Amino acid sequence: MENTASLATGPDGRKRRVSYFFEPEIGQPTDPFPSHMAHKLILTYGLDRHMEISRPYLAGVFDFTQFHSPEYIQFLASLTPMNNKDPSVSLNKSRFFDLDVNRHTNSTIFNGLFDYCRASAGGSLSAAVKLNRQEADIAINWAGGMHRAKRDRASGFSFVNDVVLAIAELLKVFKRVLYIDIGFRHGDAVEEAFYNTDRVMTVSFHTYTDTPFPRDGDRRELYSLKAPLKNGLKDKSLRNLFRPVINKAMQVYQPEVVVLQCGADSLAGDFTFNLKVKGHGACLEYIRSFNVPLMVLGGGGSTFRHVARCWCYETAIAVGVGEQLEEELKVNEFHYKPNFQPDFNTARDIEIIRNGLLRQLSQLIHVPSVQFQDTPPISAATEPAEVDMEKRQVTQNLRRSKL
Amino acid sequence: MGFKRTFDAEDVQELNVKNARQISYCNKLAKLDEGVPYRVSLEKSSVVAGDDISDLYGYKCEDDVENGFETSAPFSWITTGLCEEDSQSGATTQSTLSHESPESDIPWRPVYSEEDVYWCPVSPRKTVPIGPDYQADIPECVKEEASGQSGQAVGYDEEQVTGKCVIPMPDCETEVCKIGKGRKECICLDKGSIRCVQQHIMENREDLFETIGYDRCLNLGLYEMGEEVAGKLTEDEEDLFHEIVYSNPVSMDRDFWKHLKSAFPSRTMKEIVSYYFNVFILRRRAIQNRSKSLDVDSDDDEWQVEYDNTFYGAETPSDDKAEKSLSRDEEEEVNANEDSYMSFEYQSNAIYSRCPVKNREESNIGNYWRHCNDLVDQSYSFDPCDSILPDHCWTKNIDLLPTSNIIDEIFGQDPWDDFSRGK
């Protein structure tokens, strides 16, 4: 296996205890969620023989309000297809939903929205508890990964942020959590939720259009890594960025547990990235090889059969039989209609982002591990020498370069 | 969807204007961020203003996408580096903005510093909000207390939260990787000792030779490696070999290879080197690895182990000196069993070490005794056993020469006696 950080022949080379959560009762049979379709594939390929399968705990209002505001949850609980058109509901919708959510909410998802959230969040909570109790090495919840739901605001397909809830649960036992997000959109809500603590580091690979305005000089930025990527991102570009950055993050931050959001909207044919299932799965494969307890979550993805294929492949990787399913699942093929976009991320672009992130990470070595609350930004006075050096270096290089 | 390069002379003017606006905006941004330890690209933009504009590759947004680009701040994607690198896109420097509608009114500013700049649209209003309404509460890490306690779980029963198991965890025991676990079938009492390892290797070699045939083994060179090579030298030659190596240490700027070559004129250099690596070094490694003393240095090429070889059990070829020492042992009030273990252990280790004890420095005597004590300790850990060890382990290529006379010369009688009392 060339895509790993450790040797496959080590004592626990291929085998991990994998715990998988799936709730069959949620969702319409005629309009299944991608996690349902993935589950079907998983059973078809016999992956159920390799892992523990459980029905998740169904989270409730109490669980949701560990992060979300009570008013928001109340609103979610009260929504039905019947009152969808009520004026009062509409008012709240504009308060609690983003514009893009409103587009989504016209679908039948509404019919079991609250139950969907309960299963999604419940699965992630169950996964967290499994890892907390050391009953599994890898815990999977494809219904989870709703990384954009804010405390009192839905966004995209995310209504309840199971990722935040799960990480909060993990923090009861693990000192440091590394959250990695390879969904197309920026995992901003997760980053935001844990912005003030150094016990969670977030690393997100997403579309460049999602980049927030960074708080320059703020130490907290060191724990919120962002890789804004251009359209057409292909396997190779992602790999050249993902592996060195994650490698360094693991080294420098030494997380005790890793949470990986495997949003399939970064696959080709969905938004504007061009990842194949192979390249997408390679991320999981790489992280798995560090032998750190790992939570694997789903996410977005609009072409469900691609999503299902992707998550089935990633399940196979988790249990250690990924290679055997590559042919069957056609992981090395593009599945979108021929409208080939080039990868606008040049090697140079990737290099720049990589260098930037690696530099950020190396600053962590010098920063003592301090629990901060509302740390004000570092003033220039604290590190004047370094700043000047950098400035001088930059301007020198500028004059040399063609800019 | 595409954007044209605006690089013509006519457009430079326009570009200037746009850039001027952008730069002013950037300068405004600069005011927002004071003290930037690792983001100095704002500095850069003001430098850019003075530079030759024709070096910039600016892109104008051609299409007015749905929301309309109201560029109060200009929408230019500036990349560093040269066009040639972007051959991937099949055109010269191509960075297109999404044809889908990103938010309008987005200023572009650099995200990474140092000599590279990766410009990216960022929303000026969209910074990470801070406050109790945004951040999650961070629970205390109660790891040390929580093992087994489900009471720590907030508000719900942990048992319940792990869900209802439908298919239990598959039995991993049968599939546990066996690598790194050692010899399962070894039933030797002195498991892990040099003798034990030697025995098993020999057994497996025999099996291998039977399985793949003598000829193949020969062709594979299996008769030229490992302990087999030891048989190529006589005992005298082995002793001589050791003596030469140790008396010509590299630290004293001597070259023992030269001496070896002259000492063994009938042997080819290949044979000498083969013996050195297949026998000499390996044996030393085997002994050193099993040493319990804390100050072993595996990189020390001049580390020597001395033993006397006189603590032989009944299996050893009789020899005047051996018998003499043996009788001396019997005089002492040492448990006969224990004695045989000492000898047993010695024998196993002493096979390899017949180095002369000359050229020892004072400090090494301590090492020597300490080492002997180590071996003694080891031997006491064995269960009493009356069985005689298989002959072939002992007699194969082994004719042990006594060096007790040399030891007597160096150490005299007294320490010898102390030692033989098993202190």
Rg of chain A taking only CA atoms, in angstroms: 21
Report chain A (403 residues): mean pLDDT per 10 consecutive residues: 57 76 82 89 94 94 95 88 74 76 50 88 96 95 94 88 96 95 94 93 93 78 92 94 96 94 92 92 95 95 91 95 90 72 91 93 68 42 42 47 40
C-alpha to C-alpha distance for B118 and A356, rounded to whole angstroms: 9
What whole-number percentage of chain B has pLDDT above 70? 37
**SS3 readout for chain A:** CCCCCCCCCCCCCCCCCEEEECCCCCCECCECCHHHHHHHHHHHCCHHHHCEEEECCCCCHHHHCCCCCHHHHHHHHHCCCHHHHCHHHHHHHHHHECHHHHHHCCCHHHHHHHHHHHHHHHHHHHHHHHHHCCCCCEEEECCCCCCCCECCEEECCECCCHHHHHHHHHCCCCCCEEEEECCCCCCHHHHHHCCCCCCEEEEEEEEHHHCCECCCCCHHHHHEEEEEECCCCCHHHHHHHHHHHHHHHHHHHCCCEEEEECCHHHECCCCCCCECHHHHHHHHHHHHCCCCCEEEECCCCCCHHHHHHHHHHHHHHHHCCHHHHHHHHCCCCCCCCCCCCCCCCCHHHHHHHHHHHHHHHHHHHHCCCCCCCCCCCCCHHHCHHHHHHHHHHHHHHHHHCCC
What digits encode the pLDDT tens for the residues B336-346?
A: 444 444 444 44
pLDDT at B291: 84
Torsion, Cα of B405, B407, B408, B413 (10° steps): -140
Torsion, Cα of A148, B130, A361, A364 (10° steps): -140
The structure tokens listed for A15 are 């085998």
Q: Measured between CB atoms, which of A173, A208, A390 is closest to B141? A: A173
Closest chain B residue to A134, measured at CA: B147
- Considering only residues 77 to 96 of chain B, which have any Cβ-Cβ distance to chain A shorter than 8 Å? 78-82, 85-86, 88-90, 94-96
C-alpha to C-alpha distance for B61 and B95, rounded to whole angstroms: 11
CA angle B248, B254, B260 (to 5 degrees): 55
C-alpha to C-alpha distance for A306 and A270, rounded to whole angstroms: 9
Q: Measured between CB atoms, which of A52, A343, A398 is closest to B169? A: A52
* Host H or E run for residue B267: none
Instruction: Give contacts of A67 with chain B, Cβ < 8 Å.
Output: 136-137
For testing contact with chain B, the best of A52, A209, A372, A379 (most B CBs within 10 A)? A209
**Highest mean pLDDT of the ranges A120-134, B227-241, B273-287:** A120-134
The residue that leads in pLDDT, B403 or A88, is A88
pLDDT at A6: 62
Interface contact B113-A390, CB threshold 8 A? yes
Q: What is the mean pLDDT of residues B351-362?
A: 38
Type of residue numbered A140: I
The structure's pTM equals 0.57
Please name which of B277, B275, B247, B271 lies closest in space to residue B259, comparing C-alpha atoms: B247
pLDDT at A39: 95
Bridge partner residues of A257 (DSSP): A177
Q: Measured between CA atoms, how close is B17 to chain A, in angstroms?
A: 18
C-alpha to C-alpha distance for B173 and A48, rounded to whole angstroms: 17
The residue that leads in pLDDT, B305 or A302, is A302
Rg of chain B taking only CA atoms, in angstroms: 40
pLDDT at A394: 47
Q: Measured between CA atoms, how close is B192 to chain A, in angstroms?
A: 20
Q: Measured between CB atoms, which of B33, B102, B152 is closest to A217? A: B33
Q: Mutual orientation of helices A70-78 and A113-132 as an angle, nearest 10°?
A: 130
Please name which of A305, A358, A359, A355 lies closest in space to residue A333, comparing C-alpha atoms: A305
Residue with tokens 């970064």: A266
Question: What φ, ψ does residue A97 adopt, rounded to 5°?
Answer: -115, 145
- Considering only residues 136 to 155 of chain B, which have any Cβ-Cβ distance to chain A shorter than 8 Å? 136-143, 146, 152-155
Q: Measured between CB atoms, which of B82, B89, B120 is closest to A344? A: B89
Bridge partner residues of A103 (DSSP): none
Interface contact A130-B44, CB threshold 8 A? no
Q: What is the mean pLDDT of residues B175-199?
A: 79
Please name which of A202, A212, A204, A153 lies closest in space to residue A183, comparing C-alpha atoms: A204
Residue with tokens 């905006």: B25
Interface contact A10-B48, CB threshold 8 A? no
User: How many interchain CB pairs under 8 A, A with B?
Assistant: 280
Mean pLDDT over the full length of chain B: 58
Type of residue numbered B1: M
C-alpha to C-alpha distance for A123 and A298, rounded to whole angstroms: 11
Q: Measured between CB atoms, which of A195, A349, A391 is closest to B118? A: A349
pLDDT at B223: 86
Please report, in range form, the residues annotated as the binding site of A. Answer: 265
Please name which of A46, A76, A82 lies closest in space to residue A61, comparing C-alpha atoms: A76
pLDDT at A212: 76
The structure tokens listed for B404 are 């007790």
Q: Does B133 touch chain A (CB under 8 A)?
A: yes
Q: Is the dihedral of CA B364, B369, B371, B372 positive or negative?
A: positive
Type of residue numbered B213: G
C-alpha to C-alpha distance for A291 and A189, rounded to whole angstroms: 27
- Tell me whether strands B164-167 and B119-121 are parallel, antiparallel or unpaired: unpaired
Residue with tokens 């298989």: B390
Please name which of B241, B322, B232 lies closest in space to residue B280, comparing C-alpha atoms: B241
Residue with tokens 């790194």: B180
Q: What is the largest CA-CA distance in chain A?
A: 66
pLDDT at B87: 36
pLDDT at A69: 94
Interface contact B44-A209, CB threshold 8 A? no
pLDDT above 60 (res B5): no
C-alpha to C-alpha distance for B127 and A212, rounded to whole angstroms: 5
Interface contact A129-B155, CB threshold 8 A? no
Closest chain B residue to A187, measured at CA: B128
* Host H or E run for residue B147: none
Kindly list the strands in the beta sheet with A200-207, ordered across the sheet, starting from the edge strand earlier in the chain: A224-229, A200-207, A177-181, A257-261, A294-297, A138-141, A18-21, A52-55, B164-167
Q: Helices (DSSP H) in B70-183: which residue ranges?
A: 143-146, 158-161
Instruction: Give contacts of A66 with chain B, Cβ < 8 Å.
Output: 136-137, 154
C-alpha to C-alpha distance for B382 and B380, rounded to whole angstroms: 5
pLDDT at A11: 44
- Tell me whether strands A257-261 and A177-181 are parallel, antiparallel or unpaired: parallel
pLDDT at A13: 57
C-alpha to C-alpha distance for B369 and B328, rounded to whole angstroms: 19
C-alpha to C-alpha distance for A275 and A234, rounded to whole angstroms: 5
C-alpha to C-alpha distance for A179 and A164, rounded to whole angstroms: 10
Q: What is the mean pLDDT of residues B346-373?
A: 39
pLDDT at B308: 38
Interface contact B135-A199, CB threshold 8 A? no
Q: Is the dihedral of CA A75, A81, A87, A91 positive or negative?
A: positive
Determine contact, residues A72/A41, Cβ cutoff 8 Å: no
C-alpha to C-alpha distance for A140 and B163, rounded to whole angstroms: 13
- Please state whether B155 falls in left (phi above 0), alpha (psi between -120 and 50) or beta: left
Give the Cβ contact number of residue B234 at 10 Å.
11
* Host H or E run for residue B407: helix B404-411
C-alpha to C-alpha distance for B26 and B23, rounded to whole angstroms: 5
Determine contact, residues A169/B156, Cβ cutoff 8 Å: no
Q: Is the dihedral of CA B407, B409, B411, B415 positive or negative?
A: positive
Q: Measured between CB atoms, which of B36, B117, B179 is closest to A217? A: B36
Question: What φ, ψ does residue A196 adopt, rounded to 5°?
Answer: -85, 0
DSSP letter string, B40-90: -HHHHHHHHHHS-GGG---B---S--TT----SS-----B-S-GGGGGGGT
For testing contact with chain A, the best of B25, B57, B128, B171 (most A CBs within 10 A)? B128
pLDDT at B395: 38
**Highest mean pLDDT of the ranges A8-12, A328-332, B6-10, B11-15:** A328-332
Q: Does B121 touch chain A (CB under 8 A)?
A: yes
C-alpha to C-alpha distance for A216 and B32, rounded to whole angstroms: 9
pLDDT at A270: 85
Please report, in range form, the residues annotated as the binding site of A for a divalent metal cation. Answer: 265
Determine contact, residues A297/A34, Cβ cutoff 8 Å: no
Q: What's the number of CA atoms in the CB half-sphere (13 Å) around residue B296?
A: 17
Q: Measured between CA atoms, how close is B413 to chain A, in angstroms?
A: 52
